[in-house]
Structure 1
Amino acid sequence: MYVGELLKNLDRVSTGVPGLDDLIGGGLIKGRVYLLIGPPGSGKTTFGIQFLIEGAKNDEKGLFVSLLEHPKTITQNMLRYNFGLLNYLKSKRIVFYDLGEGVFRAGRRFTWSEALDNLLSIVEGEGIKRVVIDSFTSLEHSVLDPDYKRIALGRFVRKLHDMGVTCLMTVEMMSSERYTDEYYLADGVIVLHHFMRDYRMIRALQVLKMHGVAHDTNLKKIRFTDEGLRVYPEAPF
């Protein structure tokens, strides 16, 4: 592979979260898969929508795959922000795919290959460039063949890379002593935290892993604003 091709494969895409790109050398690497981890209420879905909106602004069509929440509920929740989300949905620069409809309402379970190949067919058919899967943990709980996960997920990651599609998967926060396959297969891991200190809610972000990118791994303060999540350069304390 020529040097020019190698450098092209390191093209960056903005996260859409103010302050975060500065921590990871200018943005995420295009065509790679990233994990966004956090407890309930930490901002994972908001982060995902910001990521898709940033892409839509740059003519990168986005796909939001919902497992737990209905797309209508997500859209209503996002109206609190100045995202202009409805305009992006109407113009189909961002599309929702309600995977939870088939999994939970119909009581159907998929194999890993069925679930991920289905997503790939939508990505390819719709000309998608950014994908958010919310949440990957829920998808994991709905499959028939958990032992086949690493192989199917590996194929999924490679295919997205070949298509130049950047993917963000939200994952429920787990014990630091238990890491699942997606932690190892993903090119980056971003963690959202919230905890109480002196009777006050503290919110923070940490870039735990980021392949091929110089990054700051220290805890950084984050806040919910009218424009969505924002990362600040200082520590949360």
Structure 2
Amino acid sequence: MYVGEILKSLDRVPSGVPGLDDIIGGGFLPGRVYLITGPPGSGKTTMGVQFLVEGARNGEKGVFVSLVEDPRIILQDMLRYNFGLLGYVKSKTITFHDLGRILLRAEYRLTWNELFNSILQIINEEGVKRAVVDSFTSMEHLVKDPENKRWALGRFIRALQELETTTLITSEMLQGDAYTDEHYLVDGVLVIHHFMRNYQMVRALQVLKMRGVPHDSNLKRIRFTDEGIRVYNEAPF
């Protein structure tokens, strides 16, 4: 690796989530792949969209690849926030792609390799530096070679790194102590938790893993606001 490439890796990619960059050393490393995991409704998709909006504000084109949900529904849901998202979609600074139409067709199942190549083709054609892939949950049941996941995922992550595309992948956290292949292969893992205290929902973020970046692994309080999710540098309780 050239010295210039090493120095470039010291740059940071702002997350677009207020408060998050403060606990991960200033932002994501460029060209790396990160996992956001958590229970249903915890804000994984919202964080992904915030990441793309932050890039769009700075003139960086981004792409959102949906593996299950209809992107139109996602877009409608995100309009509740003051992102200005619709303007970025109209200008095609942020584009949404629907791979669920293929994955959910009963008559044909893709292999892991075909799935990842389809995602890479979209990212290549769009020429983006920011990408979100939502969501990896239950993909093992939608491909025809679930046993090949780790090998194909490793190739996919390496290809994204070579494209120098900073990528967020989302997945459901089905069990707190059950780690999947993506937990081990990605460059960083952000876990969203929620708890019930005094009949109120308390949400928290934990930086479980962040290669090459000094970070705070303690639970941090998060809240939904009109601007999206915000991270507070304080304990949730």
| TM superposition score normalised by structure 1 | 0.96
Whether contact under 8 Å (2:68, 2:103) holds in the other structure is no
**Paired residue for 1:163?**
163
Structure 1 residue 200 corresponds to structure 2 residue 200: yes
| Preserved contact between residue 67 and residue 138 of structure 1 (Cα < 8 Å) | no
Cα deviation 1:192-212 (Å, max 9, x = unaligned)? 111101111101111000000
Aligned residues: 237
- TM-score by structure 2 length? 0.96
CA contact (8 A) 1:31 1:165 kept: yes
Aligned residue identity for 1:14:
P
User: Shift of the alpha carbon at 1:107?
Assistant: 4.7
- Equivalent in the alignment of 1:6: 6
Quote the Cα distance in structure 2 between the aligned partners of 1:236 and 1:200. Answer: 12
What is the alpha-carbon distance in structure 1 between the residues aligned to residue 143 and residue 209 of structure 2? 27
Tell me if 1:134 matches 2:118: no
Distance (whole Å) between structure 2 residues aligned to residue 209 and residue 165 of structure 1: 19
Structure 1 residues 1-237: aligned runs within 5 Å: 1-105=1-105, 107-237=107-237
2:96, 2:4 → 1: CA distance?
A: 35
3-state SS of 2:104 partner: helix
The separation in 2 between residues aligned to 1:172 and 1:225, in whole angstroms, is 22
Structure 2: gaps spanning 5 or more residues: none
Query: Deviation at 1:63?
Result: 1.1
After TM superposition, where is structure 1 displaced by more than 4 Å over at least 4 residues in a row?
none
In structure 1, distance between residues paired with 2:130 and 2:95 = 11
Secondary structure at 1:140 match in 2: helix
Distance change >3 Å, CA 197–CA 28, structure 1 → 2: same
Measure the CA separation in 1 of the matches of 2:177 and 2:55. Answer: 34
Rounded Cα–Cα distance in structure 1 between residues aligned with 2:206 and 2:236: 11
One-letter amino acid matched to 1:74: I
Q: Shift of the alpha carbon at 1:151?
A: 1.4
Identity of aligned residues (%): 66
1:82 maps to a residue whose letter is N
**SS of structure 1 residue aligned to 2:216:** coil
Greater mean deviation of Cα atoms: 161-170 or 57-66: 57-66
Secondary structure, counterpart of 2:97 in structure 1: strand
SS at match of 1:95: strand
CA RMSD of aligned residues (A): 1.3
